Amino acid sequence: MDIQQAFKMSFKSLMASKLRSLLTMLGIIIGVAAVIAIMSIGQGLMNSVNEMFSSLGSNIIQVGLYVRGESNRTVTVDNMYDFVNENQELLCDLSPIVYIQGQVKCGNEVMERPSVSGVSEAYDSLQLLKLSQGRFLQYVDVARKEKVCVVGTYIVDNYLDGEGMGKIIKINGENFTVIGVMEQMGDNTERSEDNQIFIPYTNALQINGTNFVDSYGVNATSKENIAPARLAIEAFLEEKLSGDGFYYVQSLSEMLEEYNKMQNTIVTVLAAIAGISLLVGGIGIMNIMLVSVTERTREIGIRKSLGAKRRDIRLQFIIEAASTSAIGGVVGIVLGTVVGMAAGVLMNTTITPTLSPIILSFGISVGIGIIFGYLPANKAAKLNPIDALRYD
């Protein structure tokens, strides 16, 4: 008997009792839909987090320092630069980061909470900043404490009449000239990265009235060097500060990796739990197929009397079980994808269905049909023709 005919016959049987076929498929549909939805939502979450982090440099290591006031042990900016220079195979692009709390004005207009940071000329490579006009800070600006600044698009659009270059911004009463405008990074609102101002950190320290920098950014020279670089910085700070201060050294990409790993585990566990309903669905298929074999004993007898061999009968029932679960699988895939995409809209990320879980769950549902269909099919195949014919 050819496969094509077996498919035709199994389709006939499925159509002969539509409601029953649907109920039989339900377990598979729910299982596959749940697996697909969970996996695509997980993928979507991961994408949105990765997107968020990818706007930052991926090799960046952040250093934070806290030193007790009365202690004479400290880490100076020069210490940090010396350390980076001594470890050029691991580190590059050091920038102190000095936040300024204060009033920012343009003419007489007070700006709404712009973020003002003092940084070094290396900061643009740390944060992968791109300029649409002018230039970023340079070494001489920092060394000579030039009163210059680089601003985001929100500031240009809202306070500088769309024309940033050469304008004057007043920070705590001091005039800074705009020498560069950054490309738009966020959604150009007050709370976005586009409401930022960068000035030389040397000026920022002066404005804050301190010499101490508590925050640095530095790049590892390569992805492979992130972990050793972080360890080296930690060792250096431990030696400098131990007992008299606190510090943290963290690498974004390592954090991201940790996060992804954790989320993968969660998604896998959830998908496995959803997968249990696939198993239940498989048992449902087996159950219905056993009932079907009993109901169709006479049909099996007729087929055998006309020359059907065991493998013909077995093939017929296995294909029937496999197509039941395969159809359930396809419906589940569609349903799960729709649910995943709807969740994507709610979470404000785009969830694109990936091929591998779709192929995998289709394969698994066909496999479940074959495995759980085998026992009933074999039972049917082994029926004695005359007993089957007499059955009613």
Partner 1 sequence: MQEINNSPSDDVLIKLQDIYKIYHMGDSEVHALDGISLDIRRGEFVAIVGQSGSGKSTCMNIIGCLDVPTSGTYHLNGVDVSTMKDDEQAEIRNKMLGFIFQQYNLIPKLNLCENVELPLLYAGLSPAERQQRAMASLARVGLEDKAQNLPSQLSGGQQQRVSIARALAGNPPVILADEPTGALDSHTGREVLSFLQKLHKDGNTIVLITHDNSIARQAQRIVRLADGKIIYDGAADRPEAVVQPDEFSAMPITPAEEVQAG
* Nearest alpha carbon to residue 196 among 92, 94, 123: 123
- The 10 Å Cβ neighbour count of residue 306 is 8
Residue 223 vs 311, nearer CB to partner 1:
311
Q: How far is the CB of 11 from partner 1 (least distance, A)?
A: 11
CA dist 160 and 276 (Å) reads 61
CA dist 317 and 295 (Å) reads 13
Instruction: Quickly list DSSP for 317-368.
Output: HHHHHHHHHHHHHHHHHHHHHHHHHHHHHHHTS--PPPHHHHHHHHHHHHHH
CA dist 142 and 77 (Å) reads 13
Q: How far is the CB of 288 from partner 1 (least distance, A)?
A: 17
CA dist 108 and 337 (Å) reads 55
Q: How far is the CB of 377 from partner 1 (least distance, A)?
A: 15
Residue 191 vs 311, nearer CB to partner 1:
311
Residue 93 vs 299, nearer CB to partner 1:
299
Tokens 């769309």 belong to which residue?
162
- Read off the tokens for 386: 């005359």
Q: How far is the CB of 45 from partner 1 (least distance, A)?
A: 48
Tokens 């404490």 belong to which residue?
145
Residue 315 vs 333, nearer CB to partner 1:
315
* Burial status of residue 17 (CB atoms within 10 A of its CB: 0-12, 13-18, 19 or more): middle
Residue 62 vs 316, nearer CB to partner 1:
316
Q: How far is the CB of 331 from partner 1 (least distance, A)?
A: 23
Q: How far is the CB of 6 from partner 1 (least distance, A)?
A: 10
Q: How far is the CB of 304 from partner 1 (least distance, A)?
A: 6
Residue 141 vs 299, nearer CB to partner 1:
299
3-state secondary structure of 61: strand
List contacts with partner 1 (CB under 8 A): 1-2, 4-5, 12-13, 16, 298-299, 301-312, 384-386, 389
Residue 167 vs 296, nearer CB to partner 1:
296
